[in-house]
């Protein structure tokens, strides 16, 4: 089973005053998806962007939008972010666990590629019965909420566990991913790598991205 490696620069680390230029910089460097972090100041102790900015990114960007929702009550927001232009739409299991089947159904009904995210303390066991309905599992390698944190290698056990169960969807890693930490992620079975600080703070993003793919 081999999955194409995809790189998704996290716009959280970009220069928001020049958003269109930053989208272009990421695309020219070879990005596969734009990773868009939506934070509500409630599920996570940080606030970022909402539907109008997702819409603006949709209008300006040329590659798929991978929208990572770090919000409470995600079921309420599925249609709104789908309409704003998400191609891949990911909600957190922890935010939905009391209403998980219905939340998953609401996301499936949008027609987006559906992702489910877990923070470092949350195991993947609760997802096991639903694997055939989840297109992508986002294994957070930092605690969701902020860019620039250090990679937590222990979360890769969850990636190995998912592949051992035969999960054939995409597995995304998000948080502290660099050319140094990418190889272990890929080795464990992840195939979508999100990187914010490492890519947007690089002098040559194309080179930095290549280093993630080949290292």
List residues near ligand DX5 by CB under 6 A.
Answer: 10, 12-13, 35, 37, 68, 142, 144-149, 174-177, 194-198
Cβ neighbours of residue 127 under 8 Å, at least 6 residues apart?
A: 93, 116, 118, 134, 137
User: Shortest distance, CB of residue 139 to Zn ion, whole angstroms?
Assistant: 11
CA distances from 172 to 18, 60, 83, 117, 138 (A): 27, 24, 23, 9, 5
- Is there a contact between 160 and 142 (Cβ–Cβ < 8 Å)? no
99 is catalytic: no
Give CA–CA dist 184/17, Å, rounded: 34
Please pick, among 32, 40, 170, 174, the residue that the annotation labels catalytic. 174
User: Shortest distance, CB of residue 129 to ligand DX5, whole angstroms?
Assistant: 26
| Burial track 151-164 (b if 16+ CB lie within 10 A, e otherwise) | bbeebbebbebbbe
Distance of CA 151 to the CA centre of its chain: 15
Q: Which does 25 bind (CB under 5 to 8 A by kind): ligand DX5, Zn ion, none?
A: none
Q: Which does 145 bind (CB under 5 to 8 A by kind): ligand DX5, Zn ion, none?
A: ligand DX5
Stretch that binds Zn ion, among 39-47, 55-63, 80-88, 166-174 (CB under 5 A): 166-174
37 scored as a contact of Zn ion (CB under 5 A): yes
174 is catalytic: yes
Q: 101 or 148, CB closer to ligand DX5?
A: 148
Which residues are identified as catalytic? Answer: 37, 174
């Amino acid at each position: 089973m081999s999955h194409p490696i995809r790189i998704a620069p996290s716009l959280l680390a970009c220069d928001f005053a020049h958003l269109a230029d930053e989208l272009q910089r990421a695309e020219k460097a070879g990005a596969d998806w734009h990773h868009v972090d939506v934070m509500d100041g409630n599920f996570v102790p940080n606030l970022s962007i909402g539907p109008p900015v997702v819409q603006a990114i949709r209008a300006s960007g040329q590659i798929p939008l991978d929208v990572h929702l770090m919000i409470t009550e995600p079921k309420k927001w599925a249609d709104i972010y789908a309409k704003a232009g998400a191609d891949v739409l990911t909600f957190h299991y922890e935010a939905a666990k009391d209403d998980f089947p219905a939340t998953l159904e609401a996301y499936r009904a949008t027609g987006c590629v559906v992702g489910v995210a877990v923070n470092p303390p949350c195991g993947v066991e609760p997802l096991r019965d639903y694997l055939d309905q989840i297109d992508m599992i986002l294994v957070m390698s930092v605690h969701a909420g902020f860019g620039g944190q250090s990679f937590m290698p222990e979360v890769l056990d969850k990636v190995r566990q998912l592949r051992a169960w035969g999960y054939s969807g995409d597995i995304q890693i998000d948080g502290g991913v660099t050319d140094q930490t990418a190889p272990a992620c890929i080795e464990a079975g992840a195939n979508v790598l999100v990187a914010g600080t490492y890519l947007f703070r690089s002098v040559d993003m194309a080179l930095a991205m290549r280093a993630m793919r080949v290292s």
